[in-house]
């Protein structure tokens, strides 16, 4: 007797799987990232106060939560946040390329720049420069920032407001922490006071400013890419796509914690 089991297979067995959708809210992402930054700062400060004013704590534990150390949770967070910003910039660059936008290469340059910044957080390229030279890397970083701003001046002028303002604010906050505050801190380090409560508390505004600058950037990019401050990521076998506006059915399909907190 011949079997007819194969005829009972669902008609959709060979059909492609529908892509999963993940909706992100700009405000929800911003609140989540700021909460993480506040937690990292508080833990760092607590460890320093306990170590210098109450009782010495093992360096291994302090290093794990130290804002200014490479092998730490704060550095890992910063590297991931910078990489997330670069991914969003790559998405914008790809969209502008598809539109034939004349500024697509500027977007690509920004995306690649943030990949380098993410690498620097983990590898410590600027710390290597400080170790191998007799001057602070900020003396190179300052003119570099001015040069990049000059190259991107016309690009910034054509951006719509309020996105342009948010981009400038993000850049100013980040540069203030990465270059200006670090430059001001150099005399403390040169005086051999790195292993002191004052110096370890002084790194807080530097690192916090860098982190907050990236939060402002990510918030602005999600808002720029989407509609009403939301983007929907389409995750399928063909790759990842960003959908600016989702229908009610799509928005209800899969929501992230970021979206639910909006």
Asked if pLDDT for residue 223 goes beyond 60, the answer is: yes
What does pLDDT average to over the chain?
A: 82
The SS3 call for residue 230 is strand
Lowest mean pLDDT among 214-218, 230-234, 238-242, 255-259: 255-259
CA 15 to chain centre: 37
pLDDT at 48 over 70: yes
Spans of all domains in the chain: 22-77+135-254
Tens digit of pLDDT for each residue in 143-176? 889 999 999 999 999 999 999 999 999 999 999 9
Give the residue among 229, 211, 222 at the shortest CA–CA distance from 88.
222
Mean pLDDT in residue range 18-37: 87
DSSP state of 248: H
Measured in degrees and rounded to the nearest 5, phi and psi for residue 26 equal -60, -45
The H-assigned helical ranges of 100-151 are: 104-123, 125-132, 138-151
What is the torsional sign of CA 99, 102, 108, 113? negative
pLDDT in tens, 29-43: 999 999 999 999 999
Q: What is the reported pLDDT for 22?
A: 75
Average pLDDT of the residues in 50-65: 92
Q: How many CB atoms lie within 10 A of CB 238?
A: 9
Q: What is the mean pLDDT of residues 99-111?
A: 94
Q: What is the pLDDT of residue 237?
A: 47
Sign of the alpha-carbon torsion through 99, 105, 108, 110: negative
Helix (H, G, I), strand (E, B) or coil at 235: strand
Residue 64 and residue 62: Cα distance in Å, rounded? Answer: 6
70-79 pLDDT tens trace? 889 999 999 9
Q: Are the CB atoms for 218 and 231 separated by under 8 Å? A: no
235 has pLDDT over 90: no
CA-nearest of 207, 253, 218, 209 to 29 is 218
CB atoms within 10 A of CB 76: 14
Residue 25 CA to residue 232 CA, distance in Å, equals: 9
According to DSSP, the β-strands at 239-243 and 20-25 are unpaired
Residue 190 half-sphere exposure, CB side, CA atoms within 13 Å?
A: 10
pLDDT at 19: 61
Q: Are 82 and 118 in contact (CB under 8 A)?
A: yes
- pLDDT for position 9: 43
Tracing tokens 């704590």 back to the chain, one arrives at 57
Give the mean model confidence (pLDDT) for residues 206-229. 92
Angle, vertex CA 82, rays to CA 67 and CA 215, nearest 5: 80
Residue 80's pLDDT band, with cuts at 50, 70 and 90, is very high
Q: What digits encode the pLDDT tens for the residues 114-142?
A: 999 999 888 877 666 666 666 677 777 78
């Amino acid at each position: 007797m011949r079997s007819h089991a194969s005829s009972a297979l669902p008609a959709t067995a060979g059909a492609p799987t529908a892509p999963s959708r993940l909706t992100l809210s700009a405000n929800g992402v911003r609140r989540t990232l700021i909460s993480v930054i506040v937690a990292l700062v508080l833990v760092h400060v607590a460890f320093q106060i306990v170590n210098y004013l109450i009782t010495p704590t093992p360096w291994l534990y302090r290093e794990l939560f130290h804002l200014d150390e490479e092998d730490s949770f704060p550095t890992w967070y910063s590297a991931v946040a910078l990489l997330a910003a670069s991914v969003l910039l790559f998405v914008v660059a790809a969209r502008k390329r598809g539109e034939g936008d004349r500024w697509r290469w500027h977007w690509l340059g920004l995306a690649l720049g943030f990949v380098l910044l993410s690498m620097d957080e983990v590898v410590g390229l600027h710390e290597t420069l400080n170790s191998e030279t007799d001057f602070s890397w900020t003396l190179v970083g300052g003119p570099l920032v001015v040069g990049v701003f000059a190259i991107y001046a016309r690009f910034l002028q054509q951006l719509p407001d309020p996105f342009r303002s948010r981009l400038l604010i993000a850049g100013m906050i980040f540069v203030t922490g990465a270059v200006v505050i670090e430059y001001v801190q150099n005399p403390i380090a040169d005086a051999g006071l790195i292993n002191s409560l004052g110096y370890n508390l002084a790194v807080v505004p530097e690192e916090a400013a860098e982190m907050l600058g990236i939060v402002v950037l990510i918030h602005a990019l999600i808002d720029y890419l989407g509609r009403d401050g939301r983007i929907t990521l389409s995750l399928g076998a063909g790759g990842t796509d960003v959908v600016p506006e989702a229908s009610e059915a799509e928005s209800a399909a899969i929501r992230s914690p970021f979206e639910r907190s909006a």
